[in-house]
Amino acid sequence: MTTKMMVQNLSSRTTEESLSRLFSDYGIVRSVCLATDVMTGRCGGFGFVHLDEQQTGAALNSLNGRCIADRVLRVTFEQKRYNETTAVPGKPGDR
C-alpha cells in the first residue's frame, strides 16, 4: 500500500525527476506529481509523492525541514478533503 505525501516550498526549478530522486533514498517512489505554473510550466512550489507506506516515516522525519536549493521543505502526509456528501452519512440534504 502507498501513502501520499505533500511536499511544499519547492523551488521553481524542481522537476518530477529530481523530487523522485530525493525520495528514492527512502523507498520505492510509486509516482510524483508537481503543481505547475500554467504560464511557465515550471514547478508551482508544491507537489505530491507516493511512497510505500512503511517508508513514509523515515522520509518525513529526514526531509521535513531540510534545506534544498535555499528553501526549507515542508513534508506532510496528504490530508484528505471531504465534501458534505462524503463526510455526512446519508443522502445530501438529509439533516
Tell me what pLDDT residue 67 has: 96
Angle at 24 between CA 28 and CA 54, to 5 degrees: 50
Residue with the bigger pLDDT between 79 and 1: it is 1
Tell me what pLDDT residue 25 has: 92
CA distances from 91 to 1, 40, 87, 95 (A): 30, 42, 11, 9
The CATH label, of 3.30.70.330, 3.40.50.10800, 3.40.50.300, 3.30.70.1070, for the domain at 2-74 is: 3.30.70.330
28-87: pLDDT as tens digits: 999 999 999 999 999 999 999 999 888 889 999 999 999 998 999 999 987 665 554 555
Tell me what pLDDT residue 89 has: 52
Asked whether residue 20 carries a pLDDT value surpassing 90, the answer given is: yes
- Who contacts 19 (Cβ-Cβ below 8 Å, separation ≥6)? 7, 10, 32, 34, 47, 49
